[in-house]
Amino acid sequence: MSTITALRTSDIRFPTSTMLDGSDAMNPDPDYSAAYVRVITDSDDGLEGHGFVFTIGRGNDVEVAAIRALEGHLAGRDVEDLLADMGGTWRELVYDSQLRWLGPEKGVMHMAIGAVVNALWDLKAKRAGLPLWALLSAMTPEEIVALVDFRYLSDALTPDDALSILRSAQNGRDGRRAELLASGFPAYTTTPGWLGYDDAKLDRLCREAVADGFEQVKLKVGANRADDVRRLGIARAAIGPRISLAVDANQRWEVAEAIDWIADLAPFDLAWVEEPTNPDDILAHAAIARGIAPIPVATGEHGANRVMFKQFLQADALRVLQIDATRVAGVNENIAILLLAAKFGVRVCPHAGGVGLCEVVQHLSMFDFVAVSGSIDGRMIEYVDHLHEHFVTPVDVHDGRYWPPTAPGSGAEMRTESIASYTWHARTGDAGR
């Protein structure tokens, strides 16, 4: 038996706002940050579980405080018990009635639970000696269903539905695992498209993206319509007609405005329109989806929980579902969302970038391919090429593909030196060195 002795937290902030990396129509000056947690045990194996919430600067300290509020649930607990019943562990954390009041199941407190749940999954995968995607892909349908809380989902997805989806995908798991190892998982890149980049940099980065093997490029739009038209022209000319071109409005528009604005962008042959309006607005997304068809609507990086995703699917308000590794309550809730997407026949193309999101979310897409949807058609994971050097097992992306991690764990572990160097000093307001 071994016991959790502590949750150790760090407030890590990278001063990215000085570079305009990550600038978009709603987030002009993000400082990519992580409210970071290590689950420490007294086991002889010396293994720790690492997890984090991605934020964009101010308020990262609030997120750290929320993680700290969960220590009382875990300190002194038997590690094997918690890891053996991750469904039960998830429910215990999410249904703490006092903490739940602070959401419920949304925002700072829910994301904190996600960080802790993901850290426990990291520990579980390390103990198993497997990368998280392989650990999940080796579980039986019954074990996977036991991870999911079906409360508030049963009008769209029952445990029997989920079992049926997972059992169908059992045939062919080995073949898809081999295919994944041989060919990787498709990536697309957002690196060229930040609003803060000038035209020459946009053109250059688009050409580099194609040379690097990416088959889709995404541009930020929504601040100025004439600029969008000009920038899309530059991008389309640079990438040619064969490469897909998606746009991301980062919640900038009203319903009528979105439909009208997108009409001006449609001639550039858009692969999808991402976050056209407020991420809570299911009905508005559905109206926009009808108004811009056949161009698909994509959203999800700010989807607060599985109940919101369920409704987006029920209302036909998205055709590309973008899970995020640290917005919902961790791996368990994302598995629920993957199952919902499979039930509705919608493809999942994760949000990534930020700091560490690529490292973690790739495991979920690879698990989805091997054991849930069983499909790679139209699926791809976002890729942005910064801050990977701070992780112990950075992503391996080349030839336009994510290559499956082989190291044990979830990918969340940051290098000790990076944690030390970029820990935020509240007194000076200095975001890292």
**Listed ranges 163-171, 276-284, 289-297, 369-377: which one lies at the site for a second copy (CB under 8 A):** 276-284
Is 266 one of the binding residues for a second copy (CB under 8 A)?
Answer: no
Is 26 one of the binding residues for a second copy (CB under 8 A)?
Answer: yes
The nearest distance, CB 287 to a second copy, in angstroms, is 7
Tokens of 128: 């198993």
**Listed ranges 54-62, 199-207, 212-220, 401-409: which one lies at the site for a second copy (CB under 8 A):** 54-62
Is 99 one of the binding residues for a second copy (CB under 8 A)?
Answer: yes
Is 20 one of the binding residues for a second copy (CB under 8 A)?
Answer: no
Our answer to whether residue 220 is catalytic in this structure is yes
Selected binder of a second copy within 85, 179, 280, 316 (CB under 8 A): 280
d(CA 185, CA 162): 24
* Contacts (Cβ under 8 Å, ≥6 apart) of 227: none
Selected binder of a second copy within 212, 254, 385, 396 (CB under 8 A): 254
Is 59 one of the binding residues for a second copy (CB under 8 A)?
Answer: yes
Is 69 one of the binding residues for a second copy (CB under 8 A)?
Answer: yes
Is 15 one of the binding residues for a second copy (CB under 8 A)?
Answer: no
The residues pairing with 6 across neighbouring beta strands, listed in sequence order, are 40
Is 72 one of the binding residues for a second copy (CB under 8 A)?
Answer: yes
Catalytic residue among 106, 110, 220, 390: 220
Is 386 one of the binding residues for a second copy (CB under 8 A)?
Answer: no
Is 419 one of the binding residues for a second copy (CB under 8 A)?
Answer: no
> Quick one: which of 410, 421, 426, 339 has its CA closest to 38?
410
Selected binder of a second copy within 19, 28, 140, 181 (CB under 8 A): 28
Our answer to whether residue 351 is catalytic in this structure is yes
Selected binder of a second copy within 19, 84, 283, 293 (CB under 8 A): 283
Size of the site for a second copy (CB under 8 A): 60
The residues pairing with 187 across neighbouring beta strands, listed in sequence order, are 381
Is 100 one of the binding residues for a second copy (CB under 8 A)?
Answer: yes
**Listed ranges 231-239, 275-283, 374-382, 401-409: which one lies at the site for a second copy (CB under 8 A):** 275-283
Is 380 one of the binding residues for a second copy (CB under 8 A)?
Answer: no
Query: For residues 239 and 431, which CB has a smaller minimum distance to a second copy in the complex?
Result: 431
The residues pairing with 382 across neighbouring beta strands, listed in sequence order, are 188
Within positions 77 to 96, which residues make up the interface with a second copy, using CB under 8 A?
A: 96
* Contacts (Cβ under 8 Å, ≥6 apart) of 315: 282, 283, 285, 286
Whether the CB-CB separation of 66 and 72 falls below 8 Å is answered with no
Selected binder of a second copy within 1, 44, 46, 101 (CB under 8 A): 101
d(CA 124, CA 265): 46
The residues pairing with 33 across neighbouring beta strands, listed in sequence order, are 13, 55
Site string for a second copy, 112-151 (x = CB under 8 A): ---------------------------------------x
Within positions 286 to 315, which residues make up the interface with a second copy, using CB under 8 A?
A: 287, 302, 304-305, 307-308, 310-311, 314-315
> Quick one: which of 359, 287, 272 has its CA closest to 322?
272
Is 98 one of the binding residues for a second copy (CB under 8 A)?
Answer: yes
Place of tokens 């990534």: 352
Centre a 10 Å sphere on the Cβ of residue 427 and count the other Cβ atoms it contains. 6
Please, what sign has the CA dihedral across residues 249, 252, 258, 263? negative
What residues line the site for a second copy (CB under 8 A)?
A: 26-31, 55-59, 61-63, 65-66, 69, 72, 96-111, 151-152, 154-155, 251, 254-256, 277-284, 287, 302, 304-305, 307-308, 310-311, 314-315
- Positions annotated as catalytic residues are 220, 351
